[in-house]
Amino acid sequence: MKSNLESMALEIRKKMLQMSLDSDSASHLGGGLSLVEILVALYGQVMNFDHKNPFWELRDRFILSKGHGVLAFFAILNNIGLISESDLKTFMKNGSSLIAHPILDMAHGIESSNGSLGQGLSFGAGMAKAGKMKNAKYSVYVLMGDGECNEGSVWEAAQLSSELKLNNLTVIIDANGLQSDDKVGVGSNFESLQKKFESFGWESAIVDGHDVSLLVEYLSKSRSQYLPRCIVAKTIKGKGISFMENNNIWHHARLTKVNYDLALAEINLKLYG
């Protein structure tokens, strides 16, 4: 029997497919599908927030540094009541604020804009430092991609975060092994990333990124008194849809009605049996 969080992940995938189809344009499905369970663990159980008061000062903060995973992000914000169904239907339409990357919109639970990769950790570190300075007991979570970790700005922020003892900062790396045009290099595989973050003075662990209960367990662990934390989540690009899994064509592609029906049938089979 599926847990509530596992069922939630399947519903999120259904919502992503519908958004992609309705947009009538190419979208980043593969990299969005790989991070669904991470978002479900965070928003479904780990993070402290109030969907009726997105400006609450003590809310936990979430930064989607891997901005092209926005399909999953918008879908989960809809699931928790921060983005309406009517707004969701405007995805990638003229005049909509829901485009291919997140745009700062606090009322809808979006803490930062994102375009170029490698910026989110610096932004999150600033939020975490602000919390320390104000003695505000909130946590900051930054979701990044493994290919994104090729950016030098990531490691500048990682070094600073350790020096500042930002133990209220957690990075989750969606390590699906693929980037837009090829596999990630050896320097960005999950074992290398764990060792690199540890060498920069972080707590670090490798976790199955599609095991929601395990993600919740690691994200909920007691924090070090001084160290920021990195969770390298081993994932599969296109997870949950057989013809998309590890198929980099679906990094950015248009979803046809035929493929939508095939994908939806797979998810419904898992959801309803």
Residue 1 is predicted with a pLDDT of 56
Return the pLDDT at 150: 92
Q: What is the pLDDT of residue 187?
A: 64
- Collapsing DSSP to helix, strand or coil, 203 comes out as strand
> Position of tokens 């170029």?
116
The confidence score (pLDDT) of residue 190 equals 79
The answer, as to whether pTM is greater than 0.85, is yes
Domains of the chain with CATH codes: 4-272 (3.40.50.970)
Determine contact, residues 244/238, Cβ cutoff 8 Å: yes
Distance (Å, whole) CA 88 – CA 154: 31
State the pLDDT at residue 171.
98
Longest dimension (CA), the chain: 53
Q: Which residues of 5-25 are buried (b: 16+ CB within 10 A; e: fewer)?
A: bbebbbbbbbbbbbbbbbbee
**pLDDT in the model for residue 8:** 97
Q: What pLDDT is stored for residue 146 in this prediction? A: 94
Tens of each residue's pLDDT in the chain, 273 residues: 578 999 999 999 999 999 999 999 999 999 999 999 999 999 999 999 999 999 999 999 999 999 999 999 999 999 999 999 999 999 999 988 899 899 999 999 999 998 789 999 999 999 999 999 999 999 999 999 999 999 999 999 999 999 999 999 999 999 999 988 788 876 668 789 999 999 999 999 999 999 999 999 999 998 888 999 999 999 999 999 999 999 999 999 999 999 999 999 999 999 987
Q: What is the pLDDT of residue 256?
A: 96
Classify 77 as helix, strand or coil: helix
Q: Outline where the chain has alpha helix (H).
A: 4-23, 29-33, 36-41, 70-79, 85-88, 120-134, 152-163, 190-199, 212-219, 257-272
